[in-house]
Amino acid sequence: MTASNSSTTGEDAFSSAAIEALLAPAVRRLPPPTSLSPLPYDLNAGVPDRATLPWQALAAAAQRAIEENPGVALTYGGTQGYEPLRAWIAERQAAETGVDVTSAHVTLTAGSAQGIDNVAATFLSPGDVVLCGAPTYPGAIRTFRARGATIIDVPQDDDGMVMSALERVLETRRMTGQQAKLIYCTANYDNPTGHTLPVERREALVRIAQAHGVLLLEDDAYTGIDLDGPPPRSLFSIAKGRGIMRVGTFSKTIATGLRVAWIVAQPEIVRQLVFARFDNGASPFLHRMVLEYLRGGTYDSHVAMLCDLYRERRDASAAALVEFAEPYVSFKRPAGGFYHWLKLAPGLDAQAVFEAGKRHGVAVTPGTGYFANGGGEDHIRLVFSALPPDQLRPAIAAFAEGLAEVAAAAKR
Ligand SMILES: Cc1ncc(COP(=O)(O)O)c(C=O)c1O
């Protein structure tokens, strides 16, 4: 029964239950997003360090952006976004990928999360198939599901997406006559696994996607947070920019609150992405402010400083995990990004570990939230980016006490 055909009238017609009944079915079935935790130690929310946000430089950039031309900065700026900022991004992408990227290859979005939704809005109809690593970023799962798409899992091992499995899935889809539309992949510092796809797998992924005529969506949310040097060549570079959309963001390298990000793709694709935007574009003021900040010349040194900071946190948290939690978890050190992906020892359940962590004042994330079609009961994601080393150590010690409790209960 929906609110509109219920006999209830007045305020009750708009109770939360009634509102829920009105939701689009695809949205009603979505899992909730992760959020900041009120616990003393939050190792759950994948957020950058707050103390190093470059707010003074951004404030000065905002002032310059608005004073230079207030009428233009504060008026609709078009759906593709501010051309000089697109040109700045294009220049960097061209240098990095060796592909002739121009501002026509770039469209600006409100965060890469909206970039993923823009891709989904443009290419996915209900019932279309998207292939994702299992596990994968829950925001992508929610976005594809909200658009009515079906997600098919491609298993991940310690090096990321398994190419033989991908090939098998695509071959099976081809034989049924219902080929997948899109492959979604975070090749650098995956969320939640932290894995970086080796170059041979990248080459295989591009070859397989192109052979099957399936679009690639490369999610670069953590690219730049390179803790062990630059990552291998991007999928976009290997694909020479054909049949691929590469989503990037200033969220992790400047500030998540900016909501300034981009999609790079061949112009034929960009035109369609821009056409399928229904929000009158992102903020021209923010685009000008970000460009002013970038032109200020401190961006690269800021990112280098962040890499030093996060490297120290990764290493401190890895050492604490070895010291306090090793009998209960194993993990591979990520080469970048924000996350440890902990494999629980046999007999330990992620939900029980999550509850025990809470009792000890530590928020972590059960692995189950990262699987579109089930799994993850034997994994925990632990964020190392948000807390300094002197808090990471006691947080992980407290978390390990929770692990020990769960292990003791499992033995009984
Ligand atoms: C893999 C991945 N993609 C995209 C995003 C979205 O980031 P934003 O919308 O802030 O650019 C995140 C955020 O955590 C992420 O982990």
- Show the ligand 1 pocket: residues with CB < 6 angstroms: 46, 111-113, 137, 139, 186, 191, 219, 221, 249, 251, 256, 261
Do 279 and 379 fall within a single domain?
A: no
Going by pLDDT thresholds of 50, 70 and 90, the confidence category of residue 5 is very low
**CA angle 323-159-111, nearest 5°?**
90
How many domains would you assign to the chain? 2
Bridge partners of residue 382, in order along the sequence:
340
Do 290 and 305 fall within a single domain?
A: no
Share of the chain above pLDDT 70, in %: 97
End-to-end CA distance of the chain: 47
The predicted model gives 294-306 an average pLDDT of 97
Residue pLDDT, tens place only, 337-368: 999 999 999 999 999 999 999 999 999 999 99
Starting at the earlier edge strand, list the strands of the sheet with 339-344. Answer: 329-330, 339-344, 379-383, 365-366
Of the three residues 295, 310, 336, the one that is the final residue of a domain is: 295
Going by pLDDT thresholds of 50, 70 and 90, the confidence category of residue 2 is very low
**C-beta of residue 383 within 8 angstroms of C-beta of residue 396:** no
Do 192 and 267 fall within a single domain?
A: yes
Centre of ligand 1 from the C-alpha of residue 114, in Å:
9
Q: Which two tokens stand for residue 337?
A: 């990004």
Of the three residues 275, 295, 315, the one that is the final residue of a domain is: 295
The average confidence (pLDDT) of the chain is 94
Do 69 and 123 fall within a single domain?
A: yes
Sequence-distant contacts of 57-61: CB under 8 A, at least 24 apart = 57/293, 57/296, 57/298, 58/254, 58/255, 58/289, 58/293, 60/292, 60/296, 61/289, 61/290, 61/292, 61/293, 61/296
Do 204 and 234 fall within a single domain?
A: yes
Kind and range of the H or E run holding 338: none
Residue 344 is assigned to a structural domain of this protein: yes
Residue 1 is assigned to a structural domain of this protein: no
**C-beta of residue 395 within 8 angstroms of C-beta of residue 44:** no
The closest residue, in CA terms, to atom 16 on ligand 1 is 191
Centre of ligand 1 from the C-alpha of residue 326, in Å:
29
Expressed as residue numbers, the domain containing 118 is: 55-295
The pLDDT of residue 36 = 73
Residue 74 to residues 114, 286, 294, Cα–Cα distance (Å): 21, 10, 20
pLDDT score of 289 more than 70: yes
Residue 255 is assigned to a structural domain of this protein: yes
Residue 161 is assigned to a structural domain of this protein: yes
pLDDT score of 1 more than 60: no
The predicted model gives 306-334 an average pLDDT of 97
Q: Where are the alpha helices (DSSP H) in 37-146?
A: 55-68, 70-73, 83-97, 111-123, 138-146
pLDDT score of 254 more than 70: yes
Of the three residues 265, 295, 325, the one that is the final residue of a domain is: 295
DSSP 3: G
Counting ligand 1 atoms within 8 A of each CB, the residue from 112, 220, 247 with the most, and so the one to mutate, is 112
Residue pLDDT, tens place only, 127-170: 999 999 999 999 999 999 999 999 999 999 999 999 999 999 99
Do 249 and 333 fall within a single domain?
A: no
Do 305 and 179 fall within a single domain?
A: no
The closest residue, in CA terms, to atom 2 on ligand 1 is 221
Residue pLDDT, tens place only, 361-411: 999 999 999 999 999 999 999 999 999 999 999 999 999 999 999 999 988
The pLDDT of residue 105 = 98
Centre of ligand 1 from the C-alpha of residue 12, in Å:
37
**C-beta of residue 380 within 8 angstroms of C-beta of residue 402:** no
Residue pLDDT, tens place only, 184-220: 999 999 999 999 999 999 999 999 999 999 999 999 9
Residue 5 is assigned to a structural domain of this protein: no
Centre of ligand 1 from the C-alpha of residue 325, in Å:
28
Do 39 and 83 fall within a single domain?
A: no
Q: Which of 402, 324, 300 is nearest to 360 (CA)?
A: 402
pLDDT score of 247 more than 60: yes
Residue pLDDT, tens place only, 79-107: 999 999 999 999 999 999 999 999 999 99
For 289, the 3-state DSSP assignment is: helix
The pLDDT of residue 6 = 47
Do 49 and 154 fall within a single domain?
A: no
Q: pTM for this structure? A: 0.94
Q: Is 327 exposed, middle or buried (0-12, 13-18, 19+ CB in 10 A)?
A: exposed
Residue pLDDT, tens place only, 41-67: 999 988 889 999 999 999 999 999 999
- What is the residue-wise DSSP string for 197-216? --HHHHHHHHHHHHHHT-EE
CATH number assigned to the domain comprising residue 386: 3.90.1150.10
Do 287 and 357 fall within a single domain?
A: no
Counting ligand 1 atoms within 8 A of each CB, the residue from 137, 189, 190, 195 with the most, and so the one to mutate, is 137
CATH number assigned to the domain comprising residue 147: 3.40.640.10
Residue 30 is assigned to a structural domain of this protein: yes
Residue 257 is assigned to a structural domain of this protein: yes
Residue 39 is assigned to a structural domain of this protein: yes
Do 247 and 305 fall within a single domain?
A: no
Do 382 and 351 fall within a single domain?
A: yes
The closest residue, in CA terms, to atom 12 on ligand 1 is 221
